[in-house]
């Protein structure tokens, strides 16, 4: 598992994370030019980079390369994060890291694609993002081609050319020796947005207290009632209810 090995000379098993409150304070200091605060932000969010690059390890021979590229995405996220938006840093940082890694993989694709075709594909992606922002839905290929004043076939070929081939046995997640491969998820309706939310939820859970974690585990993983949980951990049902609600409010804060 990548999170337990040395990458780029860093022993990832010793990496420490930051709580959301610490992250926000450091972001405020970094905005004012505090270089030490910026360095702490980078070091404190390296585990976020690790959680993202696990998805891409099958597409690159060197985890070191992915880690370095992911760190570039992290730094860009730190430098561009808008504190006024009221969201957790990981909600913004994860897509930035993913985007940086994807650009790296596209530009280093083993299947050589002409520069003009890549430019066409990237332009189509930009048009797609603009269309979604304007219409709150994804455009059809025909709509993209129409805006680009190009034949639909040319746009389709360009977009397909920059897609990295994926092996059915590419690992997408690994925990305690149990690895999930692409083939295991065929037919799954989960979108990339769901996957990003899952990473953000994991980051949010780290900020919960031990008792809150125990309650959520028993309630939603084991399926116990609040009364049963209260008896097991030695508090009242009312306390369980309050702690559960507080924990869920914290998790909802990722949005």
Domain range summary for the chain, segments of one domain joined by +: 2-109+167-181, 115-161, 184-252
**pLDDT tens for residues 101-139?**
888 877 665 555 567 777 888 888 888 888 888 888 888
pLDDT at 239: 87
> What's the mean pLDDT when you consider all of the chain?
75
pLDDT at 188: 46
Judged by average pLDDT, the poorest of 70-79, 195-204, 213-222 is: 195-204
Of the candidates 76, 79, 77, 74, which has an alpha carbon nearest to the alpha carbon of residue 31?
79
Global confidence as pTM? 0.46
**Residues forming beta bridges with residue 11, ordered by sequence position:** 6
Is residue 189 over pLDDT 50?
Answer: no
Q: State the fold for domain 115-161.
A: Arc Repressor Mutant, subunit A (1.10.10)
Supply the CATH classification number for the domain 184-252: 1.10.10.10
**Do the domains at 2-109+167-181 and 184-252 have one common CATH topology?**
no
Of the candidates 192, 204, 237, which has an alpha carbon nearest to the alpha carbon of residue 99?
192
What is the distance between the alpha carbons of residues 72 and 10, in angstroms, rounded to a whole number?
A: 16
**How many C-beta atoms surround the C-beta of residue 19 within 10 A?**
11
Q: Which tokens hold the place of 56?
A: 């891409």
Q: How confident is the model at residue 169 (pLDDT cuts 50, 70, 90)?
A: very low
pLDDT at 148: 92
Query: Helix (H) and strand (E) counts for the chain?
Result: 12, 4
Q: Class of the 2-109+167-181 domain?
A: mainly alpha
């Amino acid at each position: 598992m990548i999170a337990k090995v040395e990458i780029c000379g860093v022993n990832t098993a010793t990496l420490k994370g930051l709580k959301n409150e610490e992250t926000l304070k450091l972001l405020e200091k970094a905005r004012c030019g505090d270089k030490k605060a910026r360095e702490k932000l980078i070091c404190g969010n390296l585990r976020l980079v690790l959680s993202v690059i696990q998805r891409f390890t099958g597409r690159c021979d060197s985890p070191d390369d992915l880690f370095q590229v992911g760190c570039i995405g992290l730094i860009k996220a730190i430098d561009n994060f808008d504190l006024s938006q009221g969201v957790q840093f990981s909600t913004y940082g994860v897509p930035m890291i993913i985007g940086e890694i994807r650009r790296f993989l596209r530009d280093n694709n083993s299947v050589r694609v002409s520069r003009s075709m890549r430019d066409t594909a990237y332009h189509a992606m930009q048009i797609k993002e603009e269309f979604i922002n304007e219409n709150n839905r994804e455009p059809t290929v025909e709509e993209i081609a129409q805006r680009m004043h190009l034949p639909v076939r040319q746009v389709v070929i360009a977009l397909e050319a920059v897609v990295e081939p994926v092996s059915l046995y590419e690992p997408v997640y690994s925990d305690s020796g149990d690895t999930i491969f692409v083939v295991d998820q065929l037919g799954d309706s989960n979108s990339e947005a769901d996957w990003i939310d899952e990473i953000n939820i994991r980051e949010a859970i780290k900020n919960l207290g031990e008792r809150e974690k125990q309650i959520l585990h028993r309630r939603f993983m084991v399926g116990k009632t609040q009364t049963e949980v209260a008896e097991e951990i030695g508090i009242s049902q009312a306390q369980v209810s309050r702690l559960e609600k507080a924990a869920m409010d914290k998790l909802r804060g990722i949005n």
